[in-house]
């Protein structure tokens, strides 16, 4: 049974959708736009980096990044992101969401510019500098995950909270799309001015010196949306739930939300003191009480996000390799370096436009109607179905490019109208305010651990089983077809771990976390969901 509830929190739960909701979505969402742009644009330029810095004179193949360098360039940002999620998630619960929120943007701006200005007296030096800035860029991006989700969940009303958090996360789709569009525009412009012959006709001349500017411009553009958002982030008031339930300042919470909601709210300092002194509002993350109340929930959010990101990031980062394997992107020797960037970007933009972006917005429209649990189960199920549909008749798709793109796009659609959205939303709803950002950061960090496995592992696993057909420097792998089977198994496991995650649709955050319960209750009720 629910006990005390602060008037300011009740007002937030019952508030009609207002302008401040949309401002919060845009302010938090632009951070995610930047996050996605920065994380995924690297996949557009790795082949170009190989051509510029690792071409060997006399070779019959264009230059390519050595396996260790490719793994580092693709995966180092995820290592930074994992660290940032844990650190800033913890810091958000200790210092407040707002105070930490601007720091992450500053880091992203500096490191986006630094990535584009990477220097070195040798190829190794340049790649090492790039990896340094990409790690710290990821560190800033990591902080955005728990902070944006927590801020939006604590600002939203309970009726449309899922849609608001999903709308913030949906900006990731636009960030992926923007990365492709920027790469298309930049590569087309440079190709028009500095046109070069294909590698087969002019191995050295196919990579013009000006190609070095292409990847730098693409990376540095990520600083623009982050810089534009900084002022508005600093203008946002701290969330009332942090101010009242964690900082225990009822007066400031009421004053801030009175301005936001345009209503008079009474400060209730005595009630705040009474609520926060309850036993069920004082246990820590590593306590038996937390394990009893939220242990299975945390296992559910961490495991599903981990399994989802193995598949999701493998697909996103290595689209270019899959498209090349089935022949949708021509062989590298038939293109110049800049033309190859254009074709990779065009293919990834098409997938984002047709599958990725629509999936996010289906979630926004339906999550508060059919619920998080159902969407996540459905997403894992159909991702499994479509990955198996790609893998089983794999040789057929090498002759049916349109069919492959449709099926591949559907896996992205159900990832985003599915677990890629819900794994972000639910951890921001079901844990207590004093641990909410930390638990979201832990869940997200487990997701990034999956992304690291996907980004490093898929590089090797997707290599052809025939050693004569592998990329230079790589040992034979299990091939794209068998890799798709492995990703399908990850989705099946994610489907079953979803049963550990409670449904949070339509319930207040305090009800979900048990913060409003009377002291004698030992565990918040787990919502049963019929499917």
For 387-438, what is each residue's pLDDT tens digit? 899 888 877 776 776 777 788 788 889 999 999 999 999 999 999 999 999 9
Q: Per-residue pLDDT for 17 more than 60?
A: yes
Please tell me what DSSP assigns to residue 342.
H
Residue-wise pLDDT tens digits, 210-219: 999 999 999 9
Looking at the DSSP assignment, which residues form a beta bridge with residue 517? 2
What fold characterizes domain 7-275+289-510? Growth Hormone; Chain: A; (1.20.1250)
Q: Angle at Cα 285 formed by Cα 280 and Cα 287, nearest 5°?
A: 70
Q: Distance between CA atoms of 22 and 25, rounded to whole angstroms? A: 5
Can you read off the two tokens belonging to residue 445? Answer: 């960090």
The least confident of 22-36, 181-195, 389-403 is 389-403
Rg (CA), the chain: 24
Residue 407: predicted pLDDT: 82
Please tell me what DSSP assigns to residue 263.
S
Q: Per-residue pLDDT for 320 more than 70?
A: no
Q: Can you give the residue ranges of every domain in the chain?
A: 7-275+289-510
Can you read off the two tokens belonging to residue 74? Answer: 């693709």
Residue-wise pLDDT tens digits, 243-252: 988 999 989 9
Can you read off the two tokens belonging to residue 515? Answer: 């913060």
- Tokens 């709308």, residue? 167
Residue-wise pLDDT tens digits, 259-313: 888 888 888 888 888 887 877 778 889 999 999 999 999 999 999 999 999 988 7
Residue 331: predicted pLDDT: 86
Q: Angle at Cα 294 formed by Cα 425 and Cα 418, nearest 5°?
A: 25
Q: Are 111 and 229 in contact (CB under 8 A)?
A: no
Residue 500: predicted pLDDT: 96
Residue 331 CB neighbours (<10 A): 14
Q: Are 481 and 458 in contact (CB under 8 A)?
A: no
Residue 361: predicted pLDDT: 92
Q: Distance between CA atoms of 21 and 394, rounded to whole angstroms? A: 46
Q: How far is CA 313 from CA 46, 442, 447, 459, 506, in A?
A: 15, 18, 10, 12, 31
Q: 448 versus 326: which is more confidently predicted?
A: 448
Q: Distance between CA atoms of 29 and 178, rounded to whole angstroms? A: 14
Residue 277: predicted pLDDT: 81
Can you read off the two tokens belonging to residue 428? Answer: 């921001």
Q: Distance between CA atoms of 58 and 61, rounded to whole angstroms? A: 9
Q: Are 16 and 156 in contact (CB under 8 A)?
A: no
The least confident of 112-116, 189-193, 314-318, 464-468 is 314-318
> What is the arithmetic mean of pLDDT over 103-107?
92
Q: Per-residue pLDDT for 227 more than 50?
A: yes
**Gap between the terminal Cα atoms of the chain:** 26
> What is the arithmetic mean of pLDDT over 71-80?
89
Q: Distance between CA atoms of 514 and 282, rounded to whole angstroms? A: 12
> What is the arithmetic mean of pLDDT over 339-368?
89
CA 404 centroid distance within chain:
25
DSSP helix, strand, coil percent of the chain (3-state; round to 5):
75, 0, 25
Count the residues in the chain: 531
Q: Distance between CA atoms of 97 and 100, rounded to whole angstroms? A: 6
Residue-wise pLDDT tens digits, 167-179: 999 998 899 999 9
Q: Distance between CA atoms of 82 and 143, rounded to whole angstroms? A: 9
Q: Per-residue pLDDT for 368 more than 80?
A: yes
Residue 367: predicted pLDDT: 96
In the structure, what pLDDT confidence band is assigned to residue 163 with cuts at 50, 70 and 90? very high
E strand or H helix that includes residue 1: none
The helix-helix angle for 372-391 and 288-317 (nearest 10°) equals 40
> What is the arithmetic mean of pLDDT over 47-51?
94
> What is the arithmetic mean of pLDDT over 53-62?
88
Q: What are the backbone angles phi and psi of residue 517, rounded to the nearest 5°?
A: -75, 155
Q: 424 versus 320: which is more confidently predicted?
A: 424
pLDDT above 90 as % of the chain: 54
DSSP structure string for 490-522: HHHHHHHHGGGSPP-TT--HHHHHTTTB-TT--
> What is the arithmetic mean of pLDDT over 367-383?
96
> What is the arithmetic mean of pLDDT over 77-100?
94
Q: Distance between CA atoms of 156 and 165, rounded to whole angstroms? A: 8
Q: Per-residue pLDDT for 466 more than 60?
A: yes
pLDDT above 70 as % of the chain: 93
Nearest to 148 by CA among 205, 196, 193, 88: 88
Q: Distance between CA atoms of 265 and 5, rounded to whole angstroms? A: 13
Residue 4: predicted pLDDT: 66
Q: Are 425 and 372 in contact (CB under 8 A)?
A: yes
Looking at the DSSP assignment, which residues form a beta bridge with residue 2? 517
Q: What are the backbone angles phi and psi of residue 268, rounded to the nearest 5°?
A: -130, 65
Can you read off the two tokens belonging to residue 266? Answer: 């009474």
Q: How far is CA 247 from CA 68, 106, 242, in A?
A: 46, 25, 6
Residue 138: predicted pLDDT: 94
Q: Distance between CA atoms of 294 and 395, rounded to whole angstroms? A: 46
In the structure, what pLDDT confidence band is assigned to residue 528 with cuts at 50, 70 and 90? very low
Mean of all residue pLDDT scores within the chain: 88
Q: Virtual CA dihedral for 217, 223, 224, 225, nearest 10 degrees? A: 130
Q: Distance between CA atoms of 422 and 501, rounded to whole angstroms? A: 10
Largest Cα separation within the chain, whole Å, is 80
In a 3-state reduction of DSSP, which class is residue 2? strand
Q: How far is CA 213 from CA 129, 175, 183, 418, in A?
A: 16, 21, 12, 38
Q: Are 323 and 350 in contact (CB under 8 A)?
A: no
The helix-helix angle for 123-155 and 19-40 (nearest 10°) equals 160
Q: Distance between CA atoms of 223 and 108, rounded to whole angstroms? A: 7
Q: With 0-12 CB in 10 A as exposed, 13-18 as middle and 19+ as buried, what is 333?
A: middle
The least confident of 169-178, 221-230, 310-319 is 310-319
Residue 327: predicted pLDDT: 67
Residue 317: predicted pLDDT: 52
Residue-wise pLDDT tens digits, 495-522: 999 999 999 999 999 888 887 766 544 4
């Amino acid at each position: 049974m629910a006990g005390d509830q602060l008037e300011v929190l009740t007002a937030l739960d019952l508030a009609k959708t207002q302008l401040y909701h949309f401002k919060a979505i845009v302010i938090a969402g632009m951070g995610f736009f930047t996050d996605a742009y920065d994380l995924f644009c690297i996949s557009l330029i790795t082949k170009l980096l190989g051509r510029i810095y690792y071409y060997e004179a006399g070779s019959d193949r264009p230059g390519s990044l050595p396996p260790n360098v490719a793994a580092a360039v693709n995966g180092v940002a995820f290592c930074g992101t994992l660290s940032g999620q844990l650190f800033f998630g913890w810091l958000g619960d200790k210092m407040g969401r707002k105070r930490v929120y601007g720091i992450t943007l500053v880091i992203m701006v500096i490191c986006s510019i630094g990535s584009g200005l990477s220097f070195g007296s040798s190829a190794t030096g340049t790649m090492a500098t790039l990896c340094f800035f990409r790690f710290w860029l990821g560190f800033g991006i990591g902080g955005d995950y728990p902070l944006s989700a927590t801020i939006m969940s604590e600002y939203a009303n309970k009726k449309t909270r899922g849609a608001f958090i999903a709308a913030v996360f949906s900006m990731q789709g636009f960030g992926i799309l923007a990365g492709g569009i920027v790469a298309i525009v930049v590569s087309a412009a440079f190709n028009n001015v500095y046109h070069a012959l294909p590698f087969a006709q002019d191995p050295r001349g196919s990579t013009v010196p000006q190609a070095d500017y292409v990847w730098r411009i693409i990376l540095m553009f990520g600083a623009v949306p982050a810089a534009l958002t900084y002022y508005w982030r600093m203008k946002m008031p701290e969330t009332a739930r942090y101010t009242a339930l964690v900082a225990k300042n009822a007066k400031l919470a009421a004053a801030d939300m009175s301005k936001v909601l345009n209503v008079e709210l009474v400060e209730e300092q005595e009630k705040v003191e009474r609520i926060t002194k309850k036993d069920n509002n004082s246990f820590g993350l590593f306590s038996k009480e937390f394990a009893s109340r939220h242990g299975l929930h945390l296992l559910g959010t961490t495991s599903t996000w981990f399994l989802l990101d193995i598949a999701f990031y493998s697909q996103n980062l290595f689209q270019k390799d899959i498209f090349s394997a089935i022949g949708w992107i021509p062989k590298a020797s038939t293109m110049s370096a800049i033309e190859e960037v254009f074709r990779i970007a065009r293919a990834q933009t098409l997938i984002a436009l047709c599958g990725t972006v629509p999936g996010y917005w289906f979630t926004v429209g339906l999550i508060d109607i059919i619920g998080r649990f159902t969407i996540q189960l459905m997403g894992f199920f159909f991702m499994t179905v479509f990955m198996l549909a790609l893998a089983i008749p794999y040789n057929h798709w090498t002759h049916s490019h349109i069919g492959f793109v449709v099926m591949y796009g559907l896996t992205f659609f159900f990832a985003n109208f599915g677990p890629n959205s819900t794994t972000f939303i639910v951890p921001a709803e079901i844990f207590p305010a004093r641990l909410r950002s930390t638990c979201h950061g832990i869940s997200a960090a487990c997701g990034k651990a999956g992304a690291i496995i996907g980004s490093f592992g898929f590089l090797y696993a997707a290599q052809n089983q025939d050693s004569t057909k592998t990329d230079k420097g790589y040992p034979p792998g299990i091939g794209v077809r068998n890799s798709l089977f492995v990703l399908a198994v990850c989705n099946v496991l994610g489907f079953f771990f979803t049963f550990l995650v409670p449904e949070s649709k339509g319930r207040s955050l305090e009800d979900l976390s048990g913060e409003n319960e009377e002291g004698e209750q030992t565990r918040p009720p787990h919502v049963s969901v019929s499917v």
